[in-house]
Amino acid sequence: MPAVCDVSVTNVCNAACDFCGFSRDKKLAGPARYLAPDEFERALPILRRRKIRYMTFQGGEPLVHPQIEALVASATKAGMQCGLITNGWFLSKHIEKLAAAGLKRLLVSIDSANMGEHEHNRGLQGLEARIADGIARARSFGIPVSASVTVSRLVHYESLPATLERLGFDSVSFSYPRREAFGSSSLVYDETSTLVDLSAEEILDALSEIARLKKRFRVMDPNAALDEVARFVRGEQQLIPCVGGSKYFYLDWNLDIWRCEAWSEPMGSVFDFDRYPDQREPCNACMMSCYRHASVLMHGAMAVADSAQALGRGDFRSAVSSLFQRGVATSLWALSREELPSMRATSLTKRRAAFRASSKSELKPDHP
């Protein structure tokens, strides 16, 4: 099975988000750091040997990295399907070169259906116009664009679809508020922000709003993942263990590889990754959306793969027990009902964009 890696390419950010420690105003990140392109390229064969095929570039703000296009190009050349999450301020400037480098997925952060509120939280006046232009350019290259929305007091769920449609988004995914510091180098939290100081009841209400939103807009969060987060919030036992450390990893600008952003210590240097065994001991210690959603969709497929390997060894008992692990049926159901239809929809979006681009090219005159 393929694996996923989130890559933080810098600790620098141009925005001033209230609920993020990377904020330019908070001075938590320390000296500016940027992932070295030559060292990253040297690490890519190691990552590929670990079956990593999907990579998302993040920050800080990844578009402040002076060689972000080179990072995407080298990862694409190594056989990774690359995505990138950005606040959108520099998107129009970079999107053509990112598309040429092989970027396949784009996520843009949105904090509120009211773009005035969004710009205020980001500390970036005029951001709305830049986002809209960047999205239009990305879609012209056939790159699907998803909104990344953090659950906070700024989110107006009823109004959100209209705003996302107006800006040109294809879909939306949600992440969940975090106030506690991470053990890793990631600073995507804030211990004092009132915007994410939500009670358990408020988070559960938000999860219900997200589920209802699916009737009006394409929401990428699987229902089974929303249910798992709700169990976490209520203090109940979750069905599906996290795949962090086995099929999902975090790589930072220091080229340290982590089981996940919430883990207390790195596995070690990425250049020693071949020596580190998969960390598959069950963990349900947080509700980070990227890991939670991936776990829901991967758990069943991993169980099937484990079962097939056991059968290949002639170990019938292990083959059967792999398939009857807790949560396998839930995972396979989520994969068949939500992820596979979503993949087909994404493919259709890309084909439509390619057709529009081809049509425009054919309509251009041969001579000025």
Q: Are 171 and 108 in contact (CB under 8 A)?
A: no
Q: Considering the chain, what percentage of its residues have pLDDT values greater than 90?
A: 71
Q: Please name every residue paired with 150 in a beta bridge, in sequence order, or none if there are none.
A: 175
Per-residue confidence (pLDDT) for residue 309, from 0 to 100: 79
Q: Please name every residue paired with 251 in a beta bridge, in sequence order, or none if there are none.
A: 7, 257
Phi-psi region of 225 (alpha: psi -120 to 50; beta: other; left: phi over 0): alpha
Please state, in angstroms and rounded to a whole number, the distance separating the CA atoms of residues 160 and 217. 9
Per-residue confidence (pLDDT) for residue 306, from 0 to 100: 67
Q: Beta-carbon neighbour count of residue 125 at 10 Å?
A: 9
For 65, 293, 341, the CA distances from 32, given in Å and listed in that order, are: 10, 31, 41
pTM as predicted: 0.87
Q: Token pair of 352, please? A: 């439509």
Per-residue confidence (pLDDT) for residue 298, from 0 to 100: 80
Per-residue confidence (pLDDT) for residue 118, from 0 to 100: 98
Per-residue confidence (pLDDT) for residue 257, from 0 to 100: 98
Per-residue pLDDT of the chain (368 residues; tens, 9 = 90+): 899 999 999 999 999 999 999 999 998 888 999 999 999 999 999 999 999 999 999 999 999 999 999 999 999 999 999 999 999 999 999 999 999 999 999 999 999 999 999 999 999 999 999 999 999 999 999 999 999 999 999 999 999 999 999 999 999 999 988 899 999 999 999 999 999 999 999 999 999 999 999 999 999 999 999 999 999 999 999 888 899 999 999 999 999 999 999 999 999 999 999 999 999 888 888 888 888 888 888 877 776 776 787 778 887 787 777 776 777 777 777 778 766 555 444 454 455 555 454 544 444 444 43
Sheet holding 52-58, edge to edge: 171-175, 145-150, 105-109, 81-86, 52-58, 3-8, 248-251, 256-258, 268-269
Per-residue confidence (pLDDT) for residue 83, from 0 to 100: 98
Query: Which three-class secondary structure string do you get for 233-247?
Result: HHCCCCCCCCCECCC
Q: Token pair of 267, please? A: 């596995």
